[in-house]
Structure 1
């Protein structure tokens, strides 16, 4: 007969699962990781991001930028101009994700078949 896991061990698993679920609720949406990675080089405007992320529609990009800003991963800065311009940049929390995104990219290169569309 096996001994049931301790309550402490069960709680640790649940906390880990909850944290991972929260992370993927934000990062698991299509284009979110790509948007964050695109801002790695520094602030960018909407048009610049739209041109650099092949395949994303303007409406989806706008949604992702709003969501990532709401989550505190990017900052939206408005320069009143003229002309008015808006730029997006990683926050400290967004920058902290870069090592994890690097690891995901490395894993994909090693374990997923190549994308034939690139």
Structure 2
């Protein structure tokens, strides 16, 4: 008889956030520095503005990105990785390398 193995609580918490579609891609898109909403929207093919808005709000709430408002004129909003978000980049890089090696390419 097989015994059930309890899931890793930390991994469960991490994938509650990272397991949502586009979350890791949004984080990875911010690795090179701050970006505005339009810049992120153009950089991530297939991501709707409403889902991008949701993910930015969620990732901000979780403390992985910071939202900065420049009162302008014109008013400008930018997003950047927090220290917690930056600490996640090596893991996302490893996942990206794994995907390059082990997953079939979707083609360009």
- TM-score band by shorter chain is over 0.9
Counterparts of 1:23-102 in structure 2, within 5 Å, are 23-102=14-93
Which of 94, 105, 108 is equivalent to 1:114? 105
Greater share of helix:
1
Please identify the structure whose Cα radius of gyration is greater. 1
Alpha-carbon offset, residue 115 of structure 1: 1.2
Unaligned segments of structure 2, at least 5 residues? none
Provide runs of 4+ in structure 1 moved above 4 Å. none
Q: Quote the Cα distance in structure 1 between the aligned partners of 2:30 and 2:93.
A: 13
Residue in 1 aligned with 2:95?
104
Tell me the C-alpha RMSD between the 2 structures: 1.1
Q: Quote the Cα distance in structure 1 between the aligned partners of 2:67 and 2:93.
A: 24
